[in-house]
A and B are shown apart, each in its own frame.
Chain A
Amino acid sequence: MPKYSHVCRCQSDHARFAEKIYDVVIVGSGVSGAIIAKELSSQGKSVLILEAGPENIYTMNGYNKYIETFYGNINKDNNAPYPFNANAQSPSSLDVDKLTPGVPDTKGYFVQLGTLPLESTYTRVLGGTTLHWQATCLRMLPEDFKMQTLFGQGRDWPYDYETLNPYYNIAERELGVAADVDDQRYFDITFDPNYVFPMERIPVSYLDKMVAKHVDGMTITLESGEARSLLVRSIPQARNGVPNPNYDGGKGYVPVGALGTNQEEMGERCQGNGNCVPICPVQAKYDARKTLYKALQTGNTEIISQAVAHKIDIDPDSQRVTRIHYKSYQDPALPEYTEGTVQGRVFVLAANPIENAKLMLASGLNSSSDMVGRNLMDHPYIHAWGLMPEISGTMRGPQGTSGIEEIRSGQFRSQHAGFRIDIHNEGWGWATGSPTTDLLDLVDNQQQYGTDLRNGLVNNVSRQLLLAFMVEQLPDPNNRITIDPSYTDQIGNYRPVITYSLSDYSLAGMAYGRKLSKEIFAQIGVEDHTYYDPSSFGYLIYNGQEMIARGGNHFSGTHIMGSSSADSVVDRNQRSWDHDNLYLVGSGSLPSIATSNTTLTLAAMCYMSIEQILRDLQTA
């Protein structure tokens, strides 16, 4: 069991926290903060984590309260399991509406300035957004690190795929990735000789197989003239499956099951609950609490939860960070708080790209490049959906088990965005609210009841196919998060002000995705039901193609990494160019988002940072 004495939000302890000089102070307990805390505390360093959200989820009872909240919530959105917290709010897709040009939309936590509303969310609780992530763990392609050199678009990374490869290996161990190396070796992705993933690939769904039957080997010609042969391929994911006996040179791997239980095993295999987002009820999906638990077991990590960092102090001479101020609250509903400060030798902002940038800006730290908060990226998604020619068993298994990767790479990336395609095992839900909306349609509009209603549901739901196109976005300094004293929360902290749009590069990729979906549907014999409602907040027309842009929850770029302090915020180790004991970690550092879900890559990047932090601590 965790050492609860190291988790504290007692008001009386603030004086003690203020006096001690920690080796490392980390803001945020999501995957980045947890990994850094675990590694450094394992090496004897004293670590303090400030977490804005609540922490009472180490026990099965605590975690199960989230699940009960989810069951009882009429909305089943990404944050449905996590109660509203007025003192550490999270953005909600339920607050997103069509924007009126020139009129800020202020009804949610985000103040949306446009031109397009950003629908994406994150979760401010212990463990962060890994509580609601889908756990897709694709590596980036080698070409993604050289976007400017190869395609004349976006930015190059300060290093290449080969540099990150060993850190990917470590991240795949910590997150517990289930995949087959042979499936994942494409477009020059390389692995160490004899490398295997910790667990065997998660079995692909019956729906995947029904799609693959028609699509495998299908030849398409991209608009650039390049040809591709499509293949339905299994998705690497941080979800517990069958351990690979050959892992780690034959040492094998033991899946990390549910926390807070000493009963018989639980969470050591995915149980097919189909609810990875917004919460895995058996904890077979990795979440950062699993890493935090190990950090706490070292006895060198302390966590102050319900402590919202709001200001960074800088020594004017050395430009080093001296302390971080936080507001500690007892009741998430009440605007009452106590001020506290913490001191450290190294400081790590690991609070996600929006909150990291917000904290910097609130402290007057725009960076010498003025890039803090800029280059905000996400993965815009478009959907295409229809009915398979036969019953396909939709709505079973983890939410994604296969995808199509062939349009992630190619010379076309000098012209338009690449994308990957997910086959969604949960059917049309993301696009239409199915299966509830199917029920409402049959009952309210078609006056169905009894056996006819049941047959109608089987026919409408079990044949559903949703293809989700996850499209890359380039760093654009005009897409940004800013702060404005007019917009604060009830304890006086800034709310993020979001300015967001999609460039022609992404829009052209999205439009091509829709075109390709029609080719794929024709190949399978899918009856296309895609409908882009013009009243939807994400409705767009590009070159005559209608579509709806949806958020991908992959915030990136707001403290962008680069080779020079002139045009980036952090160096190759995610250390601030301006403040040499300050690290800004996570997907905010990504110079390109490309076509991989961000968590695996940001976890790998954290392992690089850890090596530099240890060097810093040695010399300090």
Chain B
Amino acid sequence: MFDLFIDFSVTLTGFSTFRLQGTGMAAPYFETVQKIIGPATLDELLLQYQAIVATANGDAATLDNLLRNTIFNDPKFGPVTRNIIKLWFVGTWYQLPKDWWGAYGTGEQGDSFVVSPAAYTEGLLWPTVGVTPAGAKAPGYDSWVNAPVFS
């Protein structure tokens, strides 16, 4: 399931497996999602993703259509999927909507939280917009004077 989580994350973020693994956050994120929504729900979501990838059979438009119809717009999978995107980009797990928790959650809902200090600094938002995280990975003196380069 972990490999499937990575594949799903590649689709969601637009970053390669190599880049995602390079953050060192893949396992902590997988475990975070699994712990909060439960392994069964996560497996169900990942298997749904696997199924639509198979159906799309390499056709990007079909995959996009299936993703939107059966995952993003699905009341159970949509909020979790959006949360996985946010995890990768800013390292924060956002509290799921109350309706979602009422229908599918178990135990204490918990608050929003940053997965770890490294989750913040490894956020993909920063390289996406051609910068380093505020307060980490110093780009160096004078680095701000020329036009940006995007990754």
Residues of A within 8 A of B (CB): 67-68, 70-74, 76, 203-206, 209, 241, 269-275, 279, 281-282, 391, 393-398, 401, 425-426, 435-436, 439-440, 443-444, 447, 449-454, 457-458, 461-462
Contact = CB atoms under 8 A, between A and B. Distances in A.
Contact of A457 (B72, B128, B142, B148): B128
Contacts of B140: 271-272
B33 to A, nearest CB: 15
Contacts of A395: 129, 131, 134
A273 B131 CA distance: 9
Contact of B141 (A269, A281, A443, A452): A269
Nearest to B140: A271
Contacts of B121: 71
A279 to B, nearest CB: 7
B32 to A, nearest CB: 14
B56 interface: no
B142 A281 contact: no
A436 B150 CA distance: 18
Contacts, number: 138
28 contacts: A71-B118, A72-B114, A76-B134, A203-B144, A205-B144, A206-B145, A209-B145, A270-B141, A271-B138, A271-B139, A271-B141, A273-B134, A275-B135, A279-B135, A281-B136, A393-B148, A396-B131, A396-B148, A401-B144, A435-B125, A439-B90, A449-B12, A449-B14, A449-B67, A452-B14, A453-B13, A453-B85, A454-B128
Contact of A397 (B13, B117, B125, B143): B143
Nearest to A80: B135
B120 interface: yes
A443 B144 contact: no
Nearest to A462: B129
Interface string B3-37: 00000000111100000000000000000000000
A447 B148 contact: no
B50 interface: no
Contacts of B76: none
A274 B121 CA distance: 13
Nearest to B121: A71
A273 B142 CA distance: 11
Nearest to B89: A439
A282 B138 CA distance: 9
B132 interface: yes
Nearest to B142: A203
Nearest to A393: B148
Contacts of A74: 92, 112-114
Contact of A71 (B11, B113, B120, B146): B120
B138 A449 contact: no
A209 B146 CA distance: 9
B86 A457 contact: no
A397 B144 contact: yes
A393 B125 contact: no
Contacts of B128: 454, 457-458
Interface residues of B, number: 42
Nearest to B122: A71
Contacts of A453: 13-14, 85
B130 interface: yes
Contact of B72 (A73, A275, A447): A447
Nearest to A391: B148
B141 A241 contact: yes
Contact of B114 (A71, A206, A274, A401): A71
Nearest to A271: B138
Contact of A272 (B113, B143, B150): B143
Contacts of B114: 71-74
A204 B72 contact: no
B129 A457 contact: yes
A206 B135 contact: no
A447 B72 CA distance: 7
Interface in B55-103: 67-68, 72, 82, 85-86, 89-90, 92
A393 B130 contact: yes
Contacts of A281: 135-136, 138
A279 B90 CA distance: 19
A235 to B, nearest CB: 13
A399 to B, nearest CB: 9
B116 interface: yes
Highest count of chain B CB atoms <10 Å: which of A74, A394, A401: A74
Given A67-B135, A273-B136, 11 more contacts: A73-B114, A74-B112, A203-B142, A270-B141, A271-B138, A272-B132, A273-B134, A274-B135, A396-B144, A439-B86, A453-B13
A458 B138 CA distance: 20
A344 B120 CA distance: 47
Contacts of B132: 272-274
Contacts of B142: 203, 272
A457 B69 CA distance: 24
User: Which of B11, B121, B134, B140 gathers the greatest number of chain A CB atoms within 10 Å?
Assistant: B134
Max chain A CB contacts within 10 Å: which of B90, B135, B146? B135
Most chain-A Cβ atoms within 10 A of its Cβ — which of B14, B113, B141? B141
B120 A72 contact: yes
A206 B146 contact: yes
B40 interface: no
Nearest to B139: A272
Given A73-B114, A451-B14, A461 B138 contact: no
Nearest to B131: A395
A304 to B, nearest CB: 31
Contact of A396 (B14, B116, B117, B139): B139
A76 B150 CA distance: 25
A275 B103 CA distance: 41
B7 to A, nearest CB: 13
A435 B127 CA distance: 12
Nearest to A81: B135
B129 A461 contact: yes
Nearest to A448: B85
Contacts of A273: 132, 134-136, 138-139
Contact of A444 (B82, B125, B143): B82
B6 to A, nearest CB: 15
Contacts of A270: 141
B135 A71 contact: yes
Contacts of B143: 271-272, 396-397
Contacts of A73: 114
Given A71-B117, A74-B92, A273-B135, A458 B144 contact: no
